Amino acid sequence: MITLYGTPVSRALRISWLLEELGVAWQFQFLDFAKGENRSDWFLALNPSGKMPVLKDGDFVLTESAAIMQYLAENYGADWLPARGTQASALHAQWVSFITCELEQPLWTIARTTAPAGHLPHRQVGV
């Protein structure tokens, strides 16, 4: 069983979305940052940095949302990614890098400053 650790309004959202698209059985483990759960011994054993999201697939633990998504697509999405070593694969990597490094932060800032209070998603997903 796959377990995704995080909070819904975070990078865990993109992973939960992909898990749903792939039709993979999974569960969501909510982390309460206000209570310091990301600094608890059990969570630090999964990710010593205390950051989320974290994906646990059996005994395998993986951090960093882009890496998690690539892992899921390669292992659970038959034809979701271009063949490795191709120009299409290189372009895919280029866009993932652009989105996570250049585009994501401005989009989150816009969403936080323009969305009416209470209109950002906050429910647990995949439960």
> Taking residues 81-94, what's their average pLDDT?
88
Q: N- to C-terminal Cα distance for the chain?
A: 12
Say what percent of the chain tops pLDDT 90.
57
Please give the model's pTM, rounded to 2 decimal places. Answer: 0.75
Output phi, psi for 63, to 5 deg: -120, 175
In the predicted structure, residue 75 carries a pLDDT above the cut 90: yes
What average pLDDT does the segment 62-71 reach? 94
Residue range 6-41, pLDDT digits in tens: 998 888 998 999 999 999 999 999 999 889 999 999
- Alpha helix segments (H runs only) across 85-125: 87-98, 104-114
Alpha carbon of 56 to those of 59, 68, 71, 110: distances in Å?
7, 10, 11, 31
The residue type of 60 is F
At residue 2, the 3 state secondary structure works out as: strand
Residue type present at position 42: W
Is the model more confident about 78 or about 72? 72
